[in-house]
Structures are given as structure tokens and as C-alpha cells.
Amino acid sequence: MPKINIDERIQLSEAIEIILEGKTYLITKIDTAAMKKADEIQKKGVADKSIDGPILQLAMFTGVDPSEFEGVDIRKVGAALLAIMEAVEAGLKAKNPQAAA
């Protein structure tokens, strides 16, 4: 039977480096609270019919002010968010291969 020490898993993924508009952002912690906050931002954006959701999510993950992403092509913002989510998923699968089956 596999033994998993949850106390040693303080985050869902290793650090993620995103380069956007020539600037490097390092995402060092994505925990369940961050994922819940991202979900809340997305739901509020849909309810308000606002395009600000992805910008707010990326700002939350990178720890910068949302205004830093306001002039960035929204497709790049979406691609950055997708890359973050893919890295989290890959990290989870690598640490728990049975869940991937």
C-alpha cells in the first residue's frame, strides 16, 4: 500500500516560471486556497459578464497588481493561465500516478 505524507506536500506544484511580454513571473505556491480563489474570480466574471476574470486570476497567481496585465493580449493571458493549470495537473499526476490511470 502506498504511503503518502501529506504534511510534506505543502503545494500542488513545483515553482512555475512564466515569461509574458518579456517579463518573468515566478509562481512559487499554488495551494487549494489559491485554486478556490481562482474559481471564485472565474464565477464572478461570468456572472458579471466581465473580461477582467483572467487578468485577475493571473495577477493573483503571480502576485502582481492586475493593472500590470491590462495591456496584454487576452489570448496571452489565457495561454499563461492554461500553462499554469497544465503544470499543476502534471505535478499532481507525477506525485500520484495512480490518479492518472
pTM (2 d.p.): 0.75
pLDDT score of 63: 94
What's the CA dihedral at 85, 36, 100, 54 to 10 degrees?
A: -20
Sequence-distant (≥ 6) Cβ neighbours of residue 1 within 8 angstroms? none
Q: Name which of 34, 37, 53, 56 is nearest 45 in CA terms.
A: 53
Answer whether residue 6 is part of any domain. Answer: no
- Once rounded to an integer, what is the mean pLDDT over residues 7-23? 76
pLDDT score of 2: 72
Answer whether residue 92 is part of any domain. Answer: yes
pLDDT digits (tens, 9 = 90+) for 37-87: 988 998 887 788 888 899 999 999 999 999 999 999 999 999 999 999 888
- Number of domains present in the structure of the chain: 1
Count Cβ atoms within 10 A of the Cβ of residue 77 and give its class: 0-12 exposed, 13-18 middle, 19 or more buried. Answer: buried
Answer whether residue 38 is part of any domain. Answer: yes
Answer whether residue 18 is part of any domain. Answer: no
Neighbours of 69 (CB within 10 A): 24
Answer whether residue 1 is part of any domain. Answer: no
Judge whether residue 11 has pLDDT over 60: no
Longest Cα separation, the chain: 51
pLDDT score of 75: 94
Answer whether residue 25 is part of any domain. Answer: no
Answer whether residue 63 is part of any domain. Answer: yes
Do 13 and 30 meet the contact criterion of CB atoms below 8 Å apart? yes
Domain that holds residue 51: 30-100
- Once rounded to an integer, what is the mean pLDDT over residues 83-93? 81
